[in-house]
């Protein structure tokens, strides 16, 4: 969206002029799924679909949040209010309010009110992290407008805290990190345990990443996501009776072979196998990308999907249909579901000059099998949250 258009919308919503305009992207993850809360590696990047925000100061102590996506819904509270919103039509504001609450709790001076107009281009529930996008939008808005001396990675951590403690999803740090820290045309190879990271240029030559959205709505909080987190914690506790590991992804393949008897449970065994193998695949994928071996990168991405389907059990018929239809296309090197799963989106690495035919072919299979249409987007890899 254009800056002028957004400023005009702010003025229509609040009856006074807005001051500054911000953009916060969504994210995709090349590989390394469900590894962040297991202390493993992820390989995400930010995309040009995201959330716009317009800020305007107020000279009282009220905060007014206006969402163009929630049919112009407005949520208002005092700047020092610390409680999550509970009314169904207001809970969307918690992703923003949590950031304000936790920044103030840390002693950052945010002591007058403001208006914030929000307009998101990320379909809600598309698995492209609309939640981290708005958390980090609020982060960059408050940091900029109130001149907060806070490191970007600290804002990322507060984004995760908002998600965990204010919203109630026990998610890891990957989404907020990708949204807050990304660099144009790069993916981030992130160690989710130490938070060490490297930017890796996303060089795909004649290929591009196509995002395939199932258009099936999902709510991670209401799904089995927290259950997966608990199962991994259980597996870790069992392994810790003999091994000095502090996160499941620290388990080597050799240790998995030797110590899996401790798990002695079909579900825990499969969850752990996914974590161990996915972490290896992620490191292999980063190497393959660096070496320009896109065929191998594609195979690893497809193998990740299979592991998420059989071992982690977070796929579903919509995501499987997209991935399997993509694998059938000669122009596609690999495809997999991304994010928490159950619905949301998948990605495919596709030959650029065949991308339109690819979308048509996969879209046709999806429509036939699922009964409604999938959506396709070309992924443009952009910078993390910033002022426009
Ligand atoms: C969701 C979560 F928010 C992330 O933290 C991550 O666990 C992802 O699912 C799965 O890799 O997007």
Q: Are residues 34 and 115 in the same domain?
A: yes
Whether 287 shows a pLDDT value over 80: the answer reads yes
Nearest C-alpha neighbor of 344 from the set 366, 385, 369, 374: 374
Q: Final residue of a domain: which of 147, 172, 201?
A: 201
State the residue range of the domain holding 358: 207-379
CATH of residue 182's domain is: 3.30.230.10
**Co-location of 236 and 179 in the same domain:** no
Interval between CA 339 and ligand 1 midpoint (Å): 5
pLDDT tens digits for range 212-271: 999 986 655 457 889 999 999 999 999 999 999 999 999 999 999 999 999 999 999 999
Domain count, the chain: 2
- Please indicate, yes or no, whether residues 166 and 248 belong to a single structural domain of this protein: no
In a domain, 242, yes or no: yes
35 and 122 together in one domain: yes
Is 12 strand, coil or helix?
A: helix
Poorest-pLDDT segment among 35-44, 51-60, 87-96, 137-146: 87-96
Residue 219 sits in the same domain as residue 172 = no
Which atom of ligand 1 lies at the shortest distance from residue 33's CA? 11
Q: Find tokens 């401790």 and name the residue.
A: 262
Nearest CA among 317, 327, 328, 332 for reference residue 369: 317
Residues 141 and 267 in one domain: no
Asked if the structure places residue 388 within a domain, the reply is: no
Whether residue 286 contacts residue 313, with contact meaning beta carbons closer than 8 Å, is answered with no
Catalytic annotation on 175? yes
Q: What is the pLDDT of residue 127?
A: 87
Q: Which residues line ligand 1 (CB under 6 A)?
A: 33-34, 36-37, 129, 171-172, 174-175, 339-340
Predicted pLDDT at 49: 94
Check whether residue 274 and residue 297 sit in a common domain.
Answer: yes
285 and 154 share one domain: no
Co-location of 25 and 70 in the same domain: yes
**Nearest alpha-carbon partner for 58 in 31, 42, 77:** 77
- What pLDDT score does 220 carry? 55
Q: Is residue 387 part of a domain?
A: no
Which of 123-127, 153-157, 224-228, 334-338 is predicted with the least confidence, judged by mean pLDDT?
A: 123-127
Claim to verify: residue 157 and residue 280 sit in the same structural domain: no
Domain end, chosen from 168, 183, 201, is at 201
What separation in Å is there between the alpha carbon of 34 and the centre of ligand 1? 6
pLDDT at 379: 80
ipTM confidence: 0.99
* Statement to judge: residues 237 and 141 lie in one domain: no
Task: Please report the pLDDT score of residue 222 as a whole number.
Answer: 56
Checking if the pLDDT of 70 tops 90, the result is no
Q: What pLDDT is attached to residue 1?
A: 76
* DSSP one-letter string for 307-367: HHHHTS----HHHHHHHHHHHT-TTEEEEEE-SS-SSSEEEEEEEGGGHHHHHHHHHHHHH
Q: Is residue 386 part of a domain?
A: no
Question: Confidence class of residue 125 from pLDDT cuts 50, 70 and 90?
Answer: confident
Q: Among 140, 137, 79, which Cα is nearest to 109's?
A: 79
Q: What is the largest CA-CA distance in the chain?
A: 67
- Buried b / exposed e along 178-199 (16+ C-beta atoms within 10 A): bbbbbbeebbbbbbbbeeebee
Asked, for residue 262, whether it belongs to a domain, the answer is yes
pLDDT band of residue 135 (cuts 50, 70, 90) is very high
* Of 81, 89, 165, 175, catalytic: 175
Q: pLDDT at position 244, please?
A: 96
Query: Could you tell me the end-to-end alpha-carbon distance of the chain, in angstroms, rounded to an integer?
Result: 11
């Amino acid at each position: 969206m254009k800056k002028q258009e957004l400023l005009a919308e702010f003025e229509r919503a609040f009856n006074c002029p807005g001051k500054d305009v911000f953009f916060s992207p969504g994210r995709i993850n090349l590989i390394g799924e469900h590894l962040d809360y297991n202390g493993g590696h992820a390989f995400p990047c930010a995309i040009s679909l995201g959330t716009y925000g317009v800020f305007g100061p107020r000279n009282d102590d009220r905060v007014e949040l206006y969402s163009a996506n929630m049919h112009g819904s407005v949520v208002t509270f005092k700047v020092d209010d610390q409680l999550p919103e509970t009314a169904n039509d207001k809970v969307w504001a918690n992703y923003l309010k949590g950031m304000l609450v936790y920044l103030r709790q840390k002693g950052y001076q945010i002591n007058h009110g403001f208006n914030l107009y929000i307009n998101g281009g990320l379909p809600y529930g598309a698995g492209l992290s609309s939640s981290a996008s708005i958390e980090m939008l609020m982060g960059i808005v408050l940091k900029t407008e109130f001149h907060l001396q806070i490191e970007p990675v600290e804002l990322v951590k507060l984004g995760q805290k908002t998600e965990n403690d204010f919203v109630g999803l026990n998610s890891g740090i990957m989404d907020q990190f990708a949204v807050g820290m990304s660099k144009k045309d790069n993916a981030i190879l992130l160690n989710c345990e130490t938070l060490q990271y490297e930017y890796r240029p996303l060089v795909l030559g004649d290929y591009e990443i196509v995002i395939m959205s199932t258009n099936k709505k999902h709510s991670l909080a209401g799904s089995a996501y927290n259950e997966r987190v608990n199962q991994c914690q259980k597996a870790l506790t069992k392994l810790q009776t003999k091994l000095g590991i502090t996160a499941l992804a620290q388990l080597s393949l050799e240790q998995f072979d030797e110590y899996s008897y401790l798990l002695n449970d079909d579900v825990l065994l499969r969850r752990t196998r996914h974590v161990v193998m996915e972490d290896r695949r992620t490191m292999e994928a980063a190497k393959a990308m660096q070496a320009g071996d896109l065929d191998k990168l594609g195979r690893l991405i497809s193998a990740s999907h299979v592991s998420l389907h059989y071992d982690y059990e977070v796929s579903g018929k919509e995501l499987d249909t997209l991935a399997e239809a993509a694998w059938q296309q000669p122009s596609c090197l690999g495809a997999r579901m991304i994010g928490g799963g159950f619905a949301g989106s998948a990605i495919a690495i596709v030959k650029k000059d065949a991308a339109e035919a690819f979308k048509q072919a996969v879209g046709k299979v999806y429509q036939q099998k699922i009964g409604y249409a999938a959506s396709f987007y070309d992924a443009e890899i952009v910078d993390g949250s910033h002022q426009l």
